[in-house]
Amino acid sequence: MPDAEDVRRIALSLPDTTEKIAWSMPTFRVAGKMFATLPEEETSIAVRCPKEERDELVMAEPGKFWIADHEAQFAWVRARLTALEGEDELRDILADSWRQAAPTRLLDAYPELGLPTGE
């Protein structure tokens, strides 16, 4: 089961990522643009997610994903760390959020982190 240190290690392994405390919680940014946070005593993560996909995730796996009231109008979703299937799922979630925030120059420089193919 992943924990906050796994989130931190994986997020900071992504290119041009930094950690910054904002709103009294760790946030992770690519090229200065936020793509993940560690709210709720670091037992969950908040990540970027298109609203349509976010709603489908929450309906399909409500024990894993939810939408915080104050983030409902934004394209963000929360995930409970204890509900994740392991480090691979955490890595996929963080990389997907990173791709949504990363500038084109980084997506071009790191094609292995680019948009998933065949999905």
Predicted local distance difference test score (pLDDT) of residue 111: 87
Closest C-alpha to 47, from 73, 4, 79, 82:
79
Q: Which helix (H) or strand (E) holds 117?
A: none
Closest C-alpha to 94, from 23, 24, 4:
4
Tokens of 99: 């791709």
CA–CA distances in Å: residue 52 to residues 49, 55, 56, 60, 73? 8, 5, 6, 12, 12
Q: What are the pLDDT tens digits along the chain (119 aa)?
A: 899 999 999 999 999 999 999 999 999 999 999 999 999 899 999 999 999 999 999 999 999 999 999 999 999 999 999 999 999 999 999 999 999 999 999 999 998 886 544 33
Bridge partners (DSSP) of residue 118 are none
Show the domains of the chain with their CATH numbers: 4-106 (3.90.1150.30)
Predicted local distance difference test score (pLDDT) of residue 119: 38
Whole-structure pTM value: 0.92
* Rg over CA atoms, the chain: 13
